[in-house]
Amino acid sequence: MFTAAAPTHSVFKQMAFGDKMFLFSLVLAFLWLKFSLIWRFFRFCALLDGFDPPEDMPRCFANTVSIQSFWRDWHASFNLWIVRYMYIPMGGNRTKLFSILPIFFFVAIWHDMQLRLLLWATIICFTFIIEIAITLFFSSKKNPLVRQLKRSPLVWRHLRVLGTQFGLIELAVANLVGFSIGTDGAASTTRQMFDSMTLLNKVITVFVFLCVAVIAVQQSDQKAYEERQLKIKYGLH
């Protein structure tokens, strides 16, 4: 009942700050758990029938280090379809910045023809482009600033955690607009909520996102380390 009633704008305005923050986390967790159970059930049925479809939700919604990796692992089989039949025919990595807009608007319309989903696609595209630009900047091997930052593992790790933290906040806001709050007063509701936050509330919110980002980066590094060890073990490096 709580998750069904709370997303409406009128009810949301009457909620206390603690309830709003709980709702933000609960709605995202509910979406992830719902899709994960549905898709894994039908994947299990496919396995019984002799087919081995890809895992649709290979990781938790909060366990991501970038917006790109989040969408790669959210409904992964649909992502594979998008890559094969839209992304590659549209130019692949060469035209990535120009492919994002039509792809996400197609995904929004694929879900439903609603204004809130088009707004969701717009937010995702805007932040996606920013992330790609930042990634290209920090992946440059000729930039002296980047080389200097990478010489300090601690500083480089903190920068990655900060980027992950901003990405998680963006995903939370975009998905709540697209699949919960909607467009009716979404901006004013979000602004009023943060305006009403006390300093302690703001510190706790930032700290929670920071902890999640640290865990996500650590898990990503551990996975990369294990993959390198396997390549060394089997002579694939």
Hey, what are 149's tokens? Answer: 């930052």
Q: What is the DSSP string of 12-76?
A: HHHS-HHHHHHHHHHHHHHHHHHHHHHHHHHHHHHHHTT--PPPS--S-TT--SSHHHHHHHSSH
**How many whole angstroms separate alpha carbon 47 and alpha carbon 44?**
5
**How many whole angstroms separate alpha carbon 222 and alpha carbon 101?**
33
Nearest to 176, CA basis, from 1, 2, 3: 3
Q: Is 144 helix (H, G, I), strand (E, B) or coil?
A: helix
Residue of 75, 111, 158, 237 with catalytic role: 111
User: What is the 8-class DSSP label of residue 84?
Assistant: I
How long, in residues, is the chain? 237
- Does 158 qualify as catalytic in the annotation? no
Which residues 6+ apart lie within 8 Å of 29 measured at CB? Answer: 61
| Residues with a known catalytic role | 111
